[in-house]
Amino acid sequence: MTLPKGLAGVVVDQTKVSSTQGAVLTYAGYSIKELKNAPFEEVVFLLWHARLPSAEELNDFKKLLVSKMVLPYETVQLMARIAREPQHPMSILRTTVSLLGTTNDIERDDPPRILAKMLTAIAAIIRIRNDQPIKHVHKAWGVVENFIYMFSGNRPTPEQVAQFNTVMVLHADHEFNASTFTARVVASTKSDDYSCLTAAICALKGSLHGGANEQVFKMLEKIRQTGQDPIQYVAQRMAGGHKIMGFGHRVYKNGDPRAAILREIARQAAHETGNDDYFALQEEIKDYMFKTTRLHPNVDYYTALIYHCFNLDRQTFTTMFAACRTAGWLAHIIEQQSEGCLIRPSSEYVGETNRHYFADKEEKIID
């Protein structure tokens, strides 16, 4: 039996949620290039129902999501304690999602309610960690506008809403990535949605998955703070065998289509917030990486700068990823649970064989 490491290229199941076939990202058959400016709520509806909503359905869905962006009192009380612990925000989010699963009525819960509360919980974690009061939803605003307001404390401009809406749409799903597959494995056991999401968050926390955006900005900060030549810094890191985060993708060998869209948003956001030097630094590194390795930026590369332009601490970047990806996680959880099939792969044993307990014990005694 010969299998590629990490199951690369191995088809393990079918899905109607999203696809990366031909290195083109589509949601339920629609190209991400066409959906990039669609309302986030509309894209969520598409992922969950495999069709676009009517104007009336979209309006009702927006109102429903916003109306659910309120946390149970018990959850807020517990979050006020754990969010101040000196742990990574993703660890706090992991525990918070488990709390939501105990302070909510799981039997009556549904995807809109879960997504809405996930967004509010992530915004609350950021506010509590910054010793700032939790902000409450404005029912007349949309989901993205409310989300930005709830984590930043300021009502965003229409331009900011449009920028962040595209970010959330582009991160909403990406077929069987590590965290989504993890969620589907748990969903296949008929576990509850909060357990599935908790498992997905644990997978996303890793630096090779969702944590990559944090590492990208950490690199940019270090180069700026030390005043080191960026090319020299990157070259030394690669010479030492270190991976340059934000470059390369298992699926997109000729460039991540999301990165191409995010690059322009990063350029605009950087210019509007006085971070042009960071964008110029990214462009210099991008050109060098392509010249020396032929690797292109992936979705994490420019997202890191965009999050910084929204005044987010880099440790919270992966929680932003989780906020966007929850829509896709729920879509896959719904699909997997409907299949009613337990995911239980086999493995190839490559360890020692034909060993005998008593004979080996006797040999050790003699020695």
Q: Can you give the pLDDT at residue 208?
A: 77
Domain that holds residue 192: 18-208+315-339
Average pLDDT, the chain: 92
Q: Can you give the pLDDT at residue 358?
A: 83
Clarify whether residues 241 and 333 are in a common domain: no
> How many CA atoms does the CB half-sphere of 174 hold within 13 Å?
24
- Amino acid letter, 327: A
Q: Can you give the pLDDT at residue 360?
A: 75
- CA distances (Å), origin 268, targets 75, 122, 283: 37, 25, 14
Clarify whether residues 126 and 219 are in a common domain: no
**280: its two tokens:** 């110029």
Total count of domains within the chain: 2
Clarify whether residues 269 and 197 are in a common domain: no
Clarify whether residues 123 and 55 are in a common domain: yes
Q: Can you give the pLDDT at residue 359?
A: 80
CATH code of the domain covering residue 230: 1.10.230.10
Clarify whether residues 96 and 201 are in a common domain: yes
- CA distances (Å), origin 284, targets 221, 251, 269: 15, 24, 18
Determine how many CB atoms are found less than 10 A away from the CB of residue 37: 11
Clarify whether residues 191 and 105 are in a common domain: yes
pLDDT tens profile 100-159: 988 766 555 689 999 999 999 999 999 999 999 999 999 999 999 999 999 999 999 999
Judge whether 2 lies within some domain. no
Q: Can you give the pLDDT at residue 334?
A: 95
- What is the strand order of the sheet 30-31 is part of? 18-19, 26-27, 30-31
Judge whether 151 lies within some domain. yes
Judge whether 1 lies within some domain. no
pLDDT tens profile 161-176: 999 999 999 999 999 9
Clarify whether residues 305 and 320 are in a common domain: no
Q: Can you give the pLDDT at residue 24?
A: 92
Q: Can you give the pLDDT at residue 107?
A: 54
Clarify whether residues 324 and 184 are in a common domain: yes
Clarify whether residues 151 and 233 are in a common domain: no
Point out the domain boundary residue: 309, 327, 355: 309
Q: Hey, which residues are catalytic here?
A: 249, 300
Q: Can you give the pLDDT at residue 1?
A: 58
Judge whether 74 lies within some domain. yes
Clarify whether residues 91 and 105 are in a common domain: yes
Asked whether 148 and 165 are in contact (CB, 8 A), the reply is no
Judge whether 4 lies within some domain. no
Q: Can you give the pLDDT at residue 106?
A: 57
Q: Can you give the pLDDT at residue 280?
A: 97
**168: its two tokens:** 């959330």
Low-confidence stretches of the chain (pLDDT < 50) are: none
Beta bridge partners of 19: 26
pLDDT tens profile 301-320: 999 999 999 999 999 999 99
**pTM given for the model:** 0.91
Q: Can you give the pLDDT at residue 212?
A: 87
How deeply is 223 buried, as exposed, middle or buried, from its count of CB atoms within 10 A (0-12, 13-18, 19+)?
buried
Give strand ranges (E) for the chain.
18-19, 26-27, 30-31
Q: Can you give the pLDDT at residue 266?
A: 98
Clarify whether residues 127 and 184 are in a common domain: yes
